[in-house]
Amino acid sequence: MTARDYRYYVDTGPILERSWASKAGVGFTGKNAMLISRGFGNWLLLAAIVTRLEIEADAPVSRQAEAVPVGTLCGRCTQCLDACPTGALTAPGVLDARRCIYYQTIENKGVIPQELRRGIGNRIYGCDICAEVCPWNRFAVKAKSGLLASRDQLAQLELRELLEFNPERFAAVFKGTPVKRLKLRGLLRNVCVLLWPILAREIACLHCGN
């Protein structure tokens, strides 16, 4: 096999890896539009190899998977739909990316719509709420050892401190992390969205003398 016979992706290309993984029995598509594994819950980073080789396909996780492509093993649970603070999950398996916190804080390079800002809460990079609330995560024992260790210096950063970052400081603190995708401009925009209600209250208190 030569390099021309295959390509590989790990969250790096526009391919339908979740759909393929569902058809191949890796998991099933949940109502949160994510792939859910019996052994790992939602905590998956899918890798895909596109090849010309003929490979025998595995069966889906359930016989119902082909007839019911979304929420095959979700039952009546709607925790992911109910928990989304911006209403991005408009129906089981249907995600309106324009309302998704992940999209707005990372992929959107422009202005975050004002009507969505309250729902963003205290998040400056992405959102995992629809994955966190999924009951299938109680089976994710095997994935715990693979969780990335948090950096203490990041956890200790204050929002107002982030506003003082220059390009050099930003590059040093977030080196080797996905946050660098934001670039400094995107990070400062997200911080301002979070801080604005706090600053507005402080300004109002100054005017009222409290």
Task: Give the pLDDT confidence of 70-92 residue by residue, as tens digits.
Answer: 888 899 999 999 999 999 999 99
pLDDT band at 10 (very low <50, low <70, confident <90, very high): confident
Phi/psi at 92 (nearest 5 deg)? -55, 120
Contact 17, 9 (CB under 8 A): yes
pLDDT band at 125 (very low <50, low <70, confident <90, very high): very high
CA 138 to chain centre: 19
Indicate whether 79 belongs to any domain: no
User: 5, 11, 82, 128: which one is catalytic?
Assistant: 11
Indicate whether 143 belongs to any domain: no
Contact 74, 34 (CB under 8 A): no
Rounded to whole angstroms, how far apart are CA atoms 91 and 6?
36
- By percentage, how much of the chain surpasses pLDDT 70? 83
Tell me the per-residue pLDDT of 32-53, one tens digit each, with 9 for 90 and over: 999 999 888 988 888 999 888 8
Looking at residue 160, the DSSP 8-state letter turns out to be H
pTM for the model stands at 0.81
Mean pLDDT score, 163-180: 91
What is the per-residue pLDDT for 64?
63
Indicate whether 48 belongs to any domain: no
Rounded to whole angstroms, how far apart are CA atoms 10 and 17?
9
pLDDT at 68 over 80: no
What is the per-residue pLDDT for 147?
44
Contact 155, 134 (CB under 8 A): no
The residue among 208 and 107 whose pLDDT is bigger is 107
Tell me the per-residue pLDDT of 130-154, one tens digit each, with 9 for 90 and over: 999 999 998 776 544 444 455 566 7
What is the per-residue pLDDT for 199?
62
Rounded to whole angstroms, how far apart are CA atoms 196 and 97?
24
Radius of gyration of the chain (CA): 21
What is the per-residue pLDDT for 170?
94
What is the per-residue pLDDT for 61?
83
Rounded to whole angstroms, how far apart are CA atoms 37 and 118?
32
Average pLDDT of the residues of the chain: 84
What is the per-residue pLDDT for 67?
62
Indicate whether 153 belongs to any domain: yes
Question: What domain range includes position 200?
Answer: 149-210
What is the per-residue pLDDT for 99?
97
82 an active-site residue? Answer: no
Query: Domains in the chain: how many in total?
Result: 1
Indicate whether 183 belongs to any domain: yes
Residue type, 48: A
